[in-house]
Structure 1
């Protein structure tokens, strides 16, 4: 059940970290006003916070001098001055907190707008992707880009950007303040940096591949769960519960191992940075004591410097966390942009042919096609269909019948040859306008979660309730609809399992009738209904097809005896064509197929 995405290895690294982050930066540029405000308020918050220890040191020095004065018979501590310093310090920290709140508020808005736009872009992208993409990807793999990857990107972006700005500002500001107190103590504090950077780089190098694998296998797990849930009844019918459970366990174990390793390695950074920071803290404390004894620095400055060392180590430790988050950001962003960069169908063409006034003449001229270029399945398909004709396409499974319909609708483009509508190459139409010519009823019914009225109206969104009901009557669906609870307002569930398969087919036929297309495509349209219902549908279809070009793909050859033209396909080629009686008289492949359906 696993899709092609399973070929990726659990240890695969992000292919282009710098390129992905560059694309993300370009994407963020449209929010530059908000980001500039975030930078300003984050810098302001950090700057006010940095000044705090210096002022607190003044309060400490005032208390120390007061105690010394009292011991020597002086006036003692000047509590008025201390209170004044502390009130000023409180105001500074208050402004810092306010700035931090504002930048957090703005950054949350920016990150959510990024998520909103990315989800919107992916949603629009899905409609521009060729069918080939969805034939090679599981539903869960695609959905994971919209949910898990964008959620990861939003959360890490919200946290990492603010921390990057705050950390850089804090490091620069603290360094300035530390040098202003003692250059010698600052040099000692800085000696820990090379060791810190070495450890961080080694951990990041090891953990990046696991972050990438974690995001990738999260998509695979989603795909497998979605697939098994959708086919739950089939899994149980064939007693395959153990196999799908084993497959899930395999994917889940891979996800667990990747997530565990990535989180473990990234979790090592914080305690390591704290340990190294504590070594520097001890060294600075010893040196400060020596300098204080020599009289080159006072007690308040030592207290301020020790706080700055703490403040200096904190952004470095946060930097390790930011690197961790940036890895998650890069892994998620790479998958999102990878999806957005997928090759698209050409939606429009220069000077497109108008669909107005077309009569519905269709011609296939030496059409060749293969889903893979090295495996051609339609080798040489040619035929002429006049306006209003009913054309039946028959043949054994795998002969290429449904493939011809996909080519006609331009779900795929021909490898060579031409398909024309009223003499115009279908590649000269805009895809969306070309598809307005067609109405389709497939053997795989598709209905969405909504009322029956809404599902039928999907064929023509501006149709009135009366027109919807008229279409339902023409499709012989009105009678059973009125017997259902709430009638036309009955809500179909997600899988439309609260109506029978035959009833679902009737609803899709009603939808096609409502669309009132120039060309009809009926692919096994009656394959899921009983014989009595099939006869009713056939009469409705005869009325619907009158005056319209119709392509009918059917395995029940008895349903297409009145076709104006029957195309008999085998191995991608038309081996016979003609009317029902003519083909039976020839005694060829069609006669063999027809008679085999009535052999006892």
Structure 2
């Protein structure tokens, strides 16, 4: 559980290898056609641009000495044409690759989101939401350019080097060797920096993730922060995290800038060496000034692709750190899913059996042990007991939000582990204590779990749970826009809307987890009348700390000591004078 903190770096479960990049090629292959077109345009643009030094050499060595005015104008016009055509082709290519990059982002982000929708509750229990969000948004953005432009540019720069090398050797072989003499030094620098760069980018990724997680947590808890006047303390925490990020970023940039710094200096040294060898060692008899001028131009052009390749390498090292995170998320196992040959759960009556069920969130720390419960169809069951005893765990296992560690759970004799999840959960209505409201209208929120419901059915569900009255008090009624988490609504209003959403699904099994905890006593009494009608013929599980709300349930199960400590009706348990009796009596005295 240490991973579930904003100030803990997430170490990678597995090191990066070439398999990650091969997996990335799946997204690239979808864009094969536009990328080929872009590559052809890039090659044409580069080839046309490489003819400029040859034109310049001819003008310096032939046209100018011959004092030919009109040929000089013609050659100048031709050089201008090469520049214009090269720029036009590069612009078209840039537009194509912009679209390709966005399509790759869309595909990766969609796959990530779909996978996150299927991951079990345990995954979200183990890490802050901010560290999940940054992978879907920031990391995907960071890798898109490398997976689109990066690959084309890499191939193109290699071809550029080959073309430039061919042009250089065609002009002068000896001066070409002078230009190539700097390559061993460059490769030595790259080898020294390679490992350090990858580690540096991983550190940046960690600090960025931590910072994002704390920002998300702080925004979600801003009301609590202001209630307890924690603004100054929280600002200090943020400053520390931001400082850590800044420090790692600066270290990484220092390493990154070493490569272009090395290339720039090598280019200067090689250009100087060309003039030295050409003018002093070889002399005018062997080489003309036009040749030296052309070769110095090719030297700059030769080292520019190398600088570009080094920048691409930096981008690739950066992208590798993010790809590791992205594929780590995509590789996160969906532990709660349809098993092979899973069957559709037929329309259920609602009999539920816990057969020797054991469950642990963390291995070796059982929450429930050898639990046996048999609930008849249509029976109402109350789960009571101390906080942390496992009441919510019981209903989460019925919904199969977690897999049991041992034993099995049956519904109408069908093992839910072998049933398709959709066919199971579509027949259940679950009202959680945390009433989450989505951004949109109140109508949309109630209809969230049953999109085919009519407006009349939505209103009917709201009336049953006593939400209709306060909804109609809003200026736009059911079409009132609410913010994420329902910030414009009271907590009780949010719970009633969530109640209506659950009831609209018309479930065969109804689970109410502290469903009335934020509703005032008057509303609860009104709501209870509707619930009594709704619970008829449905199997229901009700978790409540206020025992007055569960007195009328068919059976009350007191959950404690990793199992069921007591079971019976309200009258039976009161007559037994056990744990339930003492808990109920204590609440009556407090009231």
Q: TM-score, normalised by structure 2?
A: 0.95
Partner residue in 2 for 1:59 = 59
C-alpha displacement of 1:578:
1.0
1:510–1:14 CA distance, 2 compared to 1 (3 A): closer
C-alpha displacement of 1:2:
7.7
Q: Is the 8 A contact 2:4 2:125 kept in 1?
A: no
Distance in 1 separating the partners of 2:152 and 2:236: 43
2:243 pairs with 253, 258, 261, which one? 253
Alignment of 1:224-263 (within 5 A): 224-263=214-253
1:519–1:507 CA distance, 2 compared to 1 (3 A): same
Distance in 2 separating the partners of 1:122 and 1:97: 37
1:378–1:159 CA distance, 2 compared to 1 (3 A): same
C-alpha displacement of 1:429:
0.9
Alignment of 1:40-189 (within 5 A): 40-66=40-66, 77-189=67-179
Alignment of 1:489-568 (within 5 A): 489-568=479-558
Distance in 1 separating the partners of 2:14 and 2:452: 47
Distance in 2 separating the partners of 1:406 and 1:444: 14
Partner residue in 1 for 2:18 = 18
Q: Is the 8 A contact 2:9 2:207 kept in 1?
A: no
C-alpha displacement of 1:182:
1.4
Question: Secondary structure, in 3 states, of the residue corresponding to 2:30?
Answer: helix
Partner residue in 2 for 1:393 = 383
1:469–1:254 CA distance, 2 compared to 1 (3 A): same
Question: Secondary structure, in 3 states, of the residue corresponding to 1:377?
Answer: strand
Q: Is the 8 A contact 1:392 1:553 kept in 2?
A: yes
Alignment of 1:371-520 (within 5 A): 371-520=361-510
What's the C-alpha RMSD, in Å, of the aligned pairs?
Answer: 2.0
Q: Which moved more, 1:417-426 or 1:537-546?
A: 537-546
C-alpha displacement of 1:14:
9.0
Q: TM-score, normalised by structure 1?
A: 0.94
Q: Is the 8 A contact 2:442 2:478 kept in 1?
A: yes
Q: Report whether the alignment pairs 1:369 with 2:370.
A: no
Gaps of 5+ in 2: none
1:5–1:484 CA distance, 2 compared to 1 (3 A): closer
Q: Is the 8 A contact 1:122 1:340 kept in 2?
A: yes
C-alpha displacement of 1:88:
2.8
1:171–1:473 CA distance, 2 compared to 1 (3 A): same
1:274 pairs with 264, 271, 278, which one? 264
Q: Is the 8 A contact 1:208 1:262 kept in 2?
A: no
Distance in 2 separating the partners of 1:158 and 1:57: 36
Question: Secondary structure, in 3 states, of the residue corresponding to 2:372?
Answer: strand
Q: Which moved more, 1:408-417 or 1:12-21?
A: 12-21
Q: Is the 8 A contact 1:62 1:82 kept in 2?
A: no
Distance in 2 separating the partners of 1:448 and 1:355: 29
C-alpha displacement of 1:301:
1.9
Distance in 1 separating the partners of 2:246 and 2:296: 42
Q: Is the 8 A contact 1:368 1:381 kept in 2?
A: yes
1:122–1:110 CA distance, 2 compared to 1 (3 A): same
Distance in 2 separating the partners of 1:374 and 1:185: 72
Q: Is the 8 A contact 1:360 1:387 kept in 2?
A: yes
Partner residue in 2 for 1:8 = 9
Distance in 1 separating the partners of 2:190 and 2:316: 13
Distance in 1 separating the partners of 2:408 and 2:146: 50
Give the total of aligned pairs: 589
Q: Is the 8 A contact 1:43 1:165 kept in 2?
A: no
Distance in 1 separating the partners of 2:101 and 2:17: 20
C-alpha displacement of 1:354:
3.2
C-alpha displacement of 1:259:
0.8
C-alpha displacement of 1:439:
0.3
1:105–1:549 CA distance, 2 compared to 1 (3 A): same
Q: Is the 8 A contact 2:3 2:127 kept in 1?
A: no
Distance in 2 separating the partners of 1:34 and 1:341: 29
Question: Secondary structure, in 3 states, of the residue corresponding to 1:398?
Answer: coil
Q: Which moved more, 1:585-594 or 1:210-219?
A: 210-219
> What are the superposed Cα offsets for residues 428-453 of structure 1, whole Å, 9 maximum, x if unpaired?
11111110111011111011111111
Distance in 2 separating the partners of 1:425 and 1:160: 51
Q: Is the 8 A contact 1:14 1:209 kept in 2?
A: no
Q: Is the 8 A contact 1:442 1:522 kept in 2?
A: yes
> What are the superposed Cα offsets for residues 522-578 of structure 1, whole Å, 9 maximum, x if unpaired?
001111111111111111111111110000011111111111111111122111111
> What are the superposed Cα offsets for residues 334-372 of structure 1, whole Å, 9 maximum, x if unpaired?
211111111114533444443333211111111100001
Distance in 2 separating the partners of 1:246 and 1:592: 47
Question: Secondary structure, in 3 states, of the residue corresponding to 1:22?
Answer: helix
C-alpha displacement of 1:63:
3.7
Question: Secondary structure, in 3 states, of the residue corresponding to 2:397?
Answer: helix
Question: Secondary structure, in 3 states, of the residue corresponding to 1:577?
Answer: strand
Q: Is the 8 A contact 1:400 1:571 kept in 2?
A: no
Distance in 2 separating the partners of 1:241 and 1:17: 43
Distance in 2 separating the partners of 1:404 and 1:31: 48
Gaps of 5+ in 1: 67-76
Partner residue in 2 for 1:588 = 578
